[in-house]
Chains A and B, each alone.
Chain A
Amino acid sequence: MIGTFVDIVLFAMLVLTAFAIVKTDRLFAVVMLSGVFSLLSALLFVALDAVDVAFTEAAVGAGISTVLMLGTIALTSRTEKKSSISSPLPFIVVLITGVALVYGTIDMPNFGDAAAPAQQHVAPEYLKGSLEDVEIPNVVTTILASYRGYDTLGETAVVFTAGIGVLLLLSGLGRRRKDEDEEDA
C-alpha cells in the first residue's frame, strides 16, 4: 500500500522531469534536470531493493555524466539548435518501441516471485556451492570474482579504458585552448 503510493509519486515526478527535459531549450537547465532524473530513478531502484544499481545510477548518472555534459556544453553551445524539419517519424518510432517494451513486460514474473526462473535456475546452485567450490563465505564476492570472474575482468578493462580516454580528451582540450590564447596574444 505504502510502497504503491511511493512508486506512483516517484513515477509521476519522473515523467514530469522527462517532459521538462524535452520542453526546455536552454541546455544548462537540461543537464541539471537530467541529474534530477537519475536521482529519481535511483530512488525507484532503492524502492525496488536494488541498492547497488541505485548507487551506480546516482554516482554515474547524477555525478559523473552531469560534469561531462557540462564539459560538452562549454565546448559547444549553450542553447538547443531548433530542428528545421518536423516529421512525425521519430514520434511513431518511439511510440512503437514503447508499446513493444510494455508488451514484453506482460508475461514477466511478478516482483519478488519465488517461482520466477531467476530464482529457480542458477541462484540456488550458487548459494549451495559457493562455500564448497571457492571457499569464500560471502556469496556476492564468490559470484563476482569467481563464477563471473572473466566477466568482471572484462568490465574492469572497459571502465579503465573509458576513464583513460575521457581524461586524455579533457586534458588535451584544455591545453589546446591555452595554446590558442597564447597565439592570439
Chain B
Amino acid sequence: MMMFLAAAVALFVSMALVLVRLYAGPSLYDRVLAVNSFGTLTVLLIAVLGFLNGRPDFLDIALLYALINFVGTIAILKFFRYRAIGDVSQVPNSKGAKK
C-alpha cells in the first residue's frame, strides 16, 4: 500500500514536470513528446489507482488507454508529415515535407 502511494506521488511529480515542458517547450516536437509521455503517465496512474483502491480490474482500461495514446501520436505525426489524415495519395509529398 505504501509503495503504491509512493508510486502515485512520483507519477504526480513527473506529470507536473511534463506539464512544464509542454507549456515552455520551445519546439513543436517537445510538445508532441510531452503529450505522448503524459498519456503514458495517465496509463500508469490508472493502473496504480486501481491497486490503491483495491480494484486491479482497471488494468484493462489502462491497456486501452495505451492503445489510444499510440494511435493518437501516430495521427499527429502523420499530420505533420502529409498535412492530411485520411487518404495520403491525394496530397503532394514534397509540399508536406517542405513545411
Contacts and interface: CB of A to CB of B under 8 A. Distances in A.
A32 B35 contact: yes
Contacts, number: 103
Interface in A152-184: 167, 170-171, 174-175, 177-178, 181
Interface string B47-80: 0010011000010010011001101100110010
A32 B49 contact: no
A28 B76 contact: no
B72 A62 contact: yes
Given A58-B65, A174-B84, A63 B19 contact: no
A39 B19 contact: no
Interface of B: 5, 8, 12, 15-16, 19, 22-23, 25, 28, 31-32, 34-35, 38-39, 42, 45-46, 49, 52-53, 58, 61, 64-65, 68-69, 71-72, 75-76, 79, 83-87, 90-92, 95
Interface of A: 2-3, 6, 9, 13, 16-17, 20, 24, 28-29, 32-33, 35-36, 39, 42-43, 46-47, 51, 54-55, 58-59, 62-63, 66-67, 70-71, 74, 167, 170-171, 174-175, 177-178, 181
